[in-house]
Structure 1
Amino acid sequence: MHTLLKGIRLVVFDLDGTLVDSVPDLAAAVDGALRELGYPAAGEARVRDWVGNGSLKLMERALADALGEPPSDALLARAHEAFLDHYGRDPSSRTRLYPGVREALDGLREREMPLALVTNKPYAFIAPILDSMGLVDYFGLCLGGDSLPEKKPHPAPLWQVAAHFDVAPQACLMVGDSRHDIAAGKAAGFRTAAVPYGYNHGEPISHSRPDGVVESLSELV
């Protein structure tokens, strides 16, 4: 067992960029929405740098790139609705588990460690993706970016999970790939662990000063 897990009674995972590489599906939906509104596709490489703050912010960044300036609220609302429509049709066919994820989840489950998922992705998309990856049964609670009024980096979702499992924050571990995950974990009083391979806007995750970094989640067990 990794030293990061010493004294830990609940592990909370981020989804996109931590457990799964979902950018190919997200990019397809972003590009579909942009084309529907008459703008050129952004492409997967750009979308990879825009992921991390929920779908509304994703489309705001995509439109700002296309327009060269921030979009109006009305245009953003139309684009976001188009994105949700495109993504809802196919949220997982190109999405893949990162190496080591299943081994980590299996190992933690064998230790009877409660697991939860907190993502900024809209809640409606969580189950279809977990189901397609065969991960539905691992998590005792899942929260999306629209499950509460606040989302990461606000600590509220993490506090909600800790309260649900009746575990003190200092006995919880937040595992993520971005500065938003680490900031949320620190603000909530959680221990924090990071992976270096996800979506962090081109910034090394070590700059966020997590309590530990693992190259693969399999290192946790």
Structure 2
Amino acid sequence: MKKAFIWDLDGTLLDSYDAILLGLEEMYSHFGLTFYREEVKAFILRYSVKELLLQLSQKEQIPLEELNAVRANSLREKNAHIQLMEGAREILEWGQQAGIAQFVYTHKGDNAFAVLDDLGISEYFVEVLTGDSGFARKPHPEAIVYLMEKYDLSQKATYYIGDRLLDAETAQAAGIKSLNLTVASSTNNTYIESLLAIKEVVG
């Protein structure tokens, strides 16, 4: 039975939260808003940047497209701040050598393609789905189901690897297993303390 990994990006393969927060802080400053870093970080970890901007737009009466435009420009400038998580390249290489099909499903926008290219890891993935690919957002399983049907992946041998409760919930909704860097082990999810621990769980 062929194994498959579907990867989240931010906080999983990419050490990108500092870059994201830098971009958001610039956006808040642009509109003269006070930036509470820890509160914002906690919110985007639990929900998403998209939900943050939506609520901010409604609260401050700033058109959402203006918020998105300012943030998008800032993010492009912050790509250089994004690094790989410890062990990311090694575990991707191990997966490739082991014949594991690897994919990405992230809420990150199409900016993700440039980041993956810059970091030199695009070659590891069969297909990359982003927040701009048109699928329902997590925890809806639509994107996962699409990949499983397109590539004939087995529910028993497919893992969604992430760093948030939202990722574990998405895997459960799709009927697959999850490996998670922050969520405690349960029937459907296995907590991993590092990316390299995946070898022990799946190997």
Q: TM-score range by the shorter chain?
A: 0.7 to 0.9
2:43 equivalent in structure 1 = 50
- Gap regions ≥5 residues in structure 2: none
C-alpha distance in 1, partners of 2:178/2:94? 19
1:67 equivalent in structure 2 = none
Q: AA paired with 2:180? A: A
Q: Is the 8 A contact 1:55 1:80 kept in 2?
A: no
C-alpha distance in 1, partners of 2:198/2:50? 33
Q: Is the 8 A contact 2:168 2:189 kept in 1?
A: no
CA offset digits 1:45-96 (Å, max 9, x no partner)? 33321324443213245x38xxxxx526653342223212221x22422122
C-alpha distance in 1, partners of 2:79/2:30? 21
User: Which residue of 69, 86, 95 maps to 1:81?
Assistant: 69
CA offset digits 1:123-177 (Å, max 9, x no partner)? x211111122221111111111121240211100101111221113333111111
Mean alpha-carbon deviation: is it higher for 161-170 or for 23-32? 161-170
User: Which residue of 154, 179, 183 maps to 2:169?
Assistant: 183
TM-score scaled by structure 2? Answer: 0.87
1:213 equivalent in structure 2 = 191
Q: Is the 8 A contact 2:4 2:159 kept in 1?
A: yes
Q: AA paired with 2:42? A: D
Q: Is the 8 A contact 2:135 2:143 kept in 1?
A: no
User: Which residue of 95, 98, 101 maps to 2:85?
Assistant: 98
Q: Is the 8 A contact 2:185 2:191 kept in 1?
A: no
Q: Is the 8 A contact 2:176 2:188 kept in 1?
A: no
C-alpha distance in 2, partners of 1:120/1:104? 22
Mean alpha-carbon deviation: is it higher for 101-110 or for 45-54? 45-54
Instruction: Answer yes or no: is 1:28 the counterpart of 2:26.
Output: no
Q: AA paired with 1:92? A: N
- Gap regions ≥5 residues in structure 1: 1-6, 65-69, 197-204
Aligned residues: 198
Q: AA paired with 1:82? A: V
C-alpha distance in 1, partners of 2:28/2:2? 44
CA offset digits 1:2-26 (Å, max 9, x no partner)? xxxxx56211111011111211111
CA RMSD, Structure 1 to Structure 2 (Å): 2.2
Instruction: Answer yes or no: is 1:136 the counterpart of 2:122.
Output: yes
Q: AA paired with 1:152? A: K
Alpha carbons of structure 1 residues 82 and 49: separation in structure 2 relative to 1, 3 Å: same
C-alpha distance in 1, partners of 2:4/2:185? 25
Q: AA paired with 1:85? A: N
> How far did residue 209 of structure 1 move?
6.0
Q: What secondary structure sits across from 2:69 in the alignment?
A: helix
1:145 equivalent in structure 2 = 131
